[in-house]
Chains A and B, each alone.
Chain A
Amino acid sequence: MASVKDIRRISDVVWEIPVSYKEGMRVPARIYASEKLYRDMDEGVVEQVTNVATLPGIVGRAYCMPDGHWGYGFPIGGVAAMDTRTGVISPGGIGFDVNCGMRLVLTSLTEEEVKPHLRQLVDRLFQRVPAGVGSSGLIKMTQDEFRHAVELGARWCLKQGFGWLDDLEKTEEGGCVAGADATKISDRAVERGYKQIGTLGSGNHYLEIQVVKPSNVFDEKLASAFGITLPNQVVLMFHCGSRGFGHQVATDYLQLFLKVMEKKYSIRILDRELACAPFQSREGQDYFAAMNCAINMSFANRQVILHRIREVFSEVFKRDPADLGMRQVYDVSHNTAKLEKHLVEGQLRELLVHRKGATRAFGPGMAGIPDAYRESGQPVILGGSMETGSYLLTGVAGGEQTFFSTAHGSGRTMSRKQAKKRFQGKKLLADMEARGIYVRTASFAGLAEEAGPAYKDIDDVVEATEEAGISKRVARFLPIGNVKG
């Protein structure tokens, strides 16, 4: 990254850009990164995080997490909290893939027990969890039923028999965020999404069978609180979002906001992807209600995928999923705007916290996390590249410095085009298999784009969050099976 005028290094892992950097900045911006991560970040990150700092009603600071990179509107890894009376809501601060997120599921099986069945498991998961361009799911429903489902989220799934009550308890917002109103979503959004519940999508979306080696457990007490107790225990992790439905909701309101932002609300912005509306305006409230439907669609999507995973494991091992210990650890969102209460200069205020490629990480004892995790803090699931591994972290009290937000993954460092030039999908698949990772993919070209070296080193990202005191390491997972979208 080029040197940035006036940038101040607050600590080894925090860099502050003052309001003098750019005209219109209302608050300073902070980038969380080690020296190495900071130097490797693209210049777009500074431009974008400082653009975010100009948005009306922003409180405290604009943030970028250590896995941050150039996005559109907000950088990926961007966090901004808005005052709910004077602030705005912006689809560019949430992302098109509303409530893209991660889910982590336990088993009571060890690597030794799973290995002989690995191919069969991955092959069946590949069939039952459709992946790839335009993939549609196995659930048949009408458009009216879909409208109902997106108001209820994962709760709708339970009514259909796709899950356990405990799954809801172990999902952010109980799997159903309040304020979802299906009258605020377009027919086009419904038409794009109503056949897609239970699908992975493509790009960096995946479903992995992973192993926790004893040497990769960093805190045994916390790991045990989250259900990781066996040496070489097998877990499942998957990453996906609200599919075409969420993408269309964001597109619909981005276009609406562009029409009213300046004319009706006299808001001027530095990048059209930061199009926004006052949160209290009719347009802002309508988007919030529609976006909440997309959040719920994504919870439902991941809930159905969890159900399919349990079916597949149950068939292959000829045992009940409960008997296989297939409990959900947690489900986190990393593309959302949520109403949360935070302390600002000693005062408890309700804020609309935008996180785009950033994860909520509530500390121990905070409201809004499951009772079972009251002492440990909120589990945070970080998906790494398919070759290197992923993490389970937990929220900590020090998270108040970032409105209790942390990283969401390893973050790309190489463009898709460069990755495709450097790696070959079929060779990568064979290489990974030789290293004990069995992969099924909907696209070899897509696989090449997701090669490990296209991403930052996830260990560096996690270390930076721990050093900054915004989350704490619990365990690291290594992939052995992968379904790639």
Chain B
Amino acid sequence: MPYRYLDDIATADAAFEAKGATIEEMFTAAADATMNVMVEDLQSIQARTTKRFDLEADDWEMLLFALLQELIYFKDAERLLLRVLNVKMGADGSRARLVAETAGEEIDASRHALIVDVKAVTLHKYRVEQTHEGWEATVILDI
């Protein structure tokens, strides 16, 4: 899996590290890592409905924050569990932008093994970096 949960940096919350050869892969992995805190088996989320996210931020770091926050928003506002199908990054002047195609379905406790709600993305030890191998991020989610 292109993400792993970290044990030693958050007692009551959920921390993960996501990696990707490209920034798009890393963003997709981070999105799955966030959803996987709430749902045990991501394969149980069927693609019954789609949502297109068009997001922008000051930089790549805050753009990832915006993407994860968008997933949390739809979980509450429309009770939707969404996965990123593909994501395209771009820049608009000095702003970082992305367009993401996502798909998923409404929460169904009889089919989705649910774990805990993610309340928010925190900025504690938050990190998005380009490395020799590609891109990686460390994120702590508030539970």
What residues make up the interface of A, taking CB atoms closer than 8 Å to B?
42, 44, 69-73, 76, 95-97, 132-134, 136, 188, 191-193, 196, 201-204, 243-244, 247-248, 250-251, 254-255, 258, 271-273, 275, 412-418, 442-446, 449, 485
Given contacts A76-B12, A250-B120, whether A443 and B113 have CB atoms under 8 Å apart is yes
B69 touches A251 (CB 8 A): yes
Bound form: Cα–Cα A133–B113 in Å: 10
A429 to chain B, nearest CB (A): 15
Given contacts A443-B114, A445-B40, A446-B114, whether A188 and B124 have CB atoms under 8 Å apart is no
Tell me which of B22-30, B43-51, B73-81, B91-99 binds A: B73-81
B38 touches A133 (CB 8 A): yes
Q: Does B131 contact A (CB under 8 A)?
A: no
A192 touches B77 (CB 8 A): yes
Which B residue's beta carbon lies closest to that of A201?
B117
Bound form: Cα–Cα A44–B5 in Å: 19
Which A residue's beta carbon lies closest to that of B37?
A416
Looking at chain A's contact residues, the main secondary structure is mixed
What residues make up the interface of B, taking CB atoms closer than 8 Å to A?
5, 7-14, 38-40, 62, 69, 72-73, 75-77, 79, 107, 109, 113-117, 119-124, 126, 140, 142-143
B115 touches A417 (CB 8 A): no
B10 to chain A, nearest CB (A): 7
B124 touches A445 (CB 8 A): no
Question: Which one of B8, B11, B73, B122 has the highest number of Cβ atoms from chain A below 10 Å of its Cβ?
Answer: B11
B120 touches A446 (CB 8 A): no
15 pairs, CB–CB < 8 Å, chain A vs chain B: A42-B11, A69-B11, A69-B12, A70-B11, A70-B12, A71-B12, A134-B76, A191-B73, A247-B142, A248-B73, A415-B11, A415-B12, A417-B5, A443-B116, A446-B115
Chain B residues, Cβ within 8 Å of A445: 40, 113, 115
Partner of B116, one of A70, A413, A415, A446: A446
A254 touches B123 (CB 8 A): yes
Given contacts A201-B117, A203-B117, A416-B14, whether A272 and B124 have CB atoms under 8 Å apart is yes
Partner of B12, one of A133, A255, A258, A416: A416
Bound form: Cα–Cα A413–B115 in Å: 20
Bound form: Cα–Cα A254–B142 in Å: 14
Given contacts A254-B123, A415-B10, A416-B14, whether A443 and B76 have CB atoms under 8 Å apart is no
Given A192-B76, A251-B69, 15 more A-B residue pairs with CB atoms under 8 Å apart are A42-B11, A70-B10, A132-B109, A133-B116, A134-B76, A136-B79, A191-B73, A192-B77, A202-B116, A244-B119, A248-B73, A273-B124, A415-B10, A417-B7, A445-B113
B55 to chain A, nearest CB (A): 13
Partner of A413, one of B11, B76, B120, B143: B11
A96 touches B140 (CB 8 A): no
Chain A residues, Cβ within 8 Å of B124: 71-73, 271-273
Chain B residues, Cβ within 8 Å of A446: 114-116
Partner of A412, one of B12, B38, B109, B119: B12
B73 touches A188 (CB 8 A): yes
A416 touches B143 (CB 8 A): yes
Bound form: Cα–Cα A95–B140 in Å: 14
A244 touches B115 (CB 8 A): no
Which B residue's beta carbon lies closest to that of A248?
B73
B126 to chain A, nearest CB (A): 7
Chain A residues, Cβ within 8 Å of B75: 133-134
Partner of B120, one of A251, A414, A485: A251
Chain B residues, Cβ within 8 Å of A273: 122-124
Which B residue's beta carbon lies closest to that of A251?
B120
B117 touches A275 (CB 8 A): no
